[in-house]
Every structure is written in structure tokens, then in C-alpha cells.
Amino acid sequence: MRIAFRPSPCPGVPPVIARRLDMPEIMVFAAEGRTVEQKRGLVKDLTEAMVKNFGVPAEVVTVQIVEAPKTDKAKGGVLFCDR
């Protein structure tokens, strides 16, 4: 494995940390129930947005979907399973 370093774009930030900033990770928290097709569409759109707005290659963008059972997630004091 080869690790490449480049100068930090931010004064005072070591190159190793600056490199990690180029590898964005997006976490999506949601109640369970979306289809695989919906998840595919979401991660594709989020990745494209990072490429466009952050100027990074798609290969470095990580998207993680964290699903919670509807019995374990609430909004306004009401469980999602009770909505």
C-alpha cells in the first residue's frame, strides 16, 4: 500500500489530516423501510453532489445509511411505529 502526502491547504494542519479531509464521509440516519433501489438512488445523488461541490473523485466518497427500527425512533414524542 502506498500513501501519498501533499501539502496542507490549511496553515497549521498537518498533511496527514489534510489528506483525510479529501475523503468525505456522509452518514444518513433514517427510519427503516426504504427499498434497495431507493438507497441506491440516494447514495448516487449524494456522491454526485460531493463530486460537484467538493471537487473530489467519486471513488473517495463514502456514504453510510444508518437505519433504526420504527420502534426505536421518535419525532415530537411519538414513535414512528405509532404514526
Active-site residue set: 24
Q: Cα–Cα distance between 41 and 59 in angstroms, integer?
A: 16
Closest CA to 62 of 50, 79, 75, 72: 50
In this structure, the strands spanning 78-79 and 74-75 are: antiparallel
